[in-house]
Structures are given as C-alpha cells and as structure tokens.
Amino acid sequence: MSKQQKLAAWFVLILIVMTICRIEANDPGKAMLAALAASGPHSSLGDQAQVFDRFIGTWDCDYTFYGSNGKVSHSSGELLFGWVLDGRAIQDIWISYPKDGSSERSIGTSLRFFDTKSKMWRVIFVAPASDAVINVQGRMEGDRIILNGNDLDRAPIRWSFNDINADSFVWRGEKSHDNGKTWVLEEEHHMKRRASK
C-alpha cells in the first residue's frame, strides 16, 4: 500500500469515527450516558476512593437466595461498576439473567458516594420492577465493607463485601428480626471478575 493509499485509508477511518460520534452525540440517551460516566475517582475522595474503586469493571455472578421457608434458589448474571458524576460517585448495575420460561432479566442499580459529613459511604439501591428503594451506609471494617440500613419492611439489614480479592469477592445480604441481636443470611452472591477482551 502506497503512502497516499495509507493516508486515504486513515482519512476514511477518521470520517467514520467522526460520523459515529456525531450520531451518538445527537442521540439524547447516549448523550446523557456519556455525561454521566467518569474516567476515574475525583481527587477530593483521596484514600476513600479505594474502598469501591477496586470493583470497577464487570463481574460474572452466581446469585444464591435463601427463602424463609428453607428453599434455596440460584441464578446467574453480571454486575457492572463504573465511576459517574465527575468521579464523585460509583454506579453499579445488578443483572440476573432470565430464568427458564421468562424473557425478562431482573435488574437494579445502586449509586454509591462518600458522605464527607458522616465519613461513611452512602448507597441508594433502586429496583423499579419491585418498587424497591433501599438506603444503606457504612465503611470498611477490617478487610470487609459493611453497610447497614433497613429493608422495605423496616427490619434492619446488613450488606457486606467479603473475601475481597483482585478477581473475586462474596456479597452477603443479611436481615435481623430482633433489632440486630441475630442475623439471618438471605443472599450470598459469588462474583468473579470478567477478563478484559
């Protein structure tokens, strides 16, 4: 390929990329997502950024739910973490793939940010299909992240990130029916980091 042909090929490639960018910029939904995303944590977070920054990326999930009747159910899915809002918050998306006989996935999202007044991470979880909004807050405790709040029925809940490694962690959801004296495990999800392509 001659130098002129290489330059022409580069020129065509640049035009294609510019066209795609223009199309995406004119799509209001994509413009909103582009404005939401951040390339990393805001410098004001300092060391606190490391609490959740290690989860940035995509995780393959093995979800396990424990029913009050003793029934155990499993599903697979994925969990995506990314910095948003100029790097002042992290958003994650929890997806459970459709089960047999269903065409719809289960999906929810959390927004996590460090509250400088309380010195705690605050998390707001939203699952529109379940009409659920749950608030929890917490911090690192030893080598775990512990988040406390109340479930939809106002019972105390404890969400935790456990056994945290570079390529895996375990998320647990517990609930108390005696105001925090004892805890019942309701969910335990094993996460494996998806390799970059």
Tens digits of residue pLDDT in 28-87: 778 888 888 999 999 999 999 999 999 999 999 999 999 988 899 999 999 999 999 999
Dist. CA 172–CA 141, nearest whole Å: 15
Dist. CA 114–CA 110, nearest whole Å: 13
Q: Whole-prediction pTM value?
A: 0.81
Do the beta carbons of residue 141 and residue 155 sit within 8 Å? no
Nearest to 153 by CA among 128, 172, 177, 129: 177
- In whole angstroms, how large is the CA radius of gyration of the chain? 21
Tens digits of residue pLDDT in 84-115: 999 999 999 999 998 877 788 999 999 999 99
pLDDT at site 7:
42
Dist. CA 59–CA 80, nearest whole Å: 6
Do the beta carbons of residue 106 and residue 129 sit within 8 Å? yes
Q: Which residue is associated with the tokens 């925090």?
A: 180
Dist. CA 107–CA 111, nearest whole Å: 14
Give the containing element (helix H, strand E) for 36: helix 28-36
